[in-house]
Amino acid sequence: MTSAFLPVSLSVTDDSHKHEGHAGAAPGGETHYSVEIVAEAFEGLSRVQVQRAVMLVLQKEFDTGLHALALKARAPAAG
C-alpha cells in the first residue's frame, strides 16, 4: 500500500483476535485489520473512490485470507 499511495501517515492494526469464532476468522489471525491512511493520492476523490482504490490495491490479500478491513482514509488537506 505504501508504494501505491505514498502515504504521509499509515497505521495498520491486526484486529483478528477480536473476531475469534466469527465468520472469516482463522487460526493465527491476519484476517481482520484496521487501517488509517493519509495520502496526497486521495486528494479530490470521493470517499467511495478512495475506498475502491484501497480495495483494488489489497485485492490479492482479500483473495488469500483477508476477510475484513476497517478503513479510515483521507487526503492531508481533509483535516
User: Between the CA atoms of 39, 65, 17 and 27, what dihedral angle is there, to the nearest 10 degrees?
Assistant: -160
Contacts of 35 (CB under 8 A, 6+ apart): 1, 10, 11, 12, 13, 54, 69, 70, 71, 72, 73
Encode pLDDT of 50-78 as tens digits: 999 999 999 998 888 788 889 999 999 86
More confident residue, 32 or 29: 32
Q: Say what the pLDDT of residue 78 is.
A: 60
Give the DSSP per-residue string, 26-67. Answer: -TT--SEEEEEEE-GGGTT--HHHHHHHHHHHTHHHHHTT--
- pTM as predicted: 0.79
pLDDT of amino acid 31: 75
Query: Within 13 A of 62's CA, how many CA atoms are on the CB side?
Result: 8
Please report the domains of the chain, with CATH numbers, ordered by start residue.
2-78 (3.30.300.90)
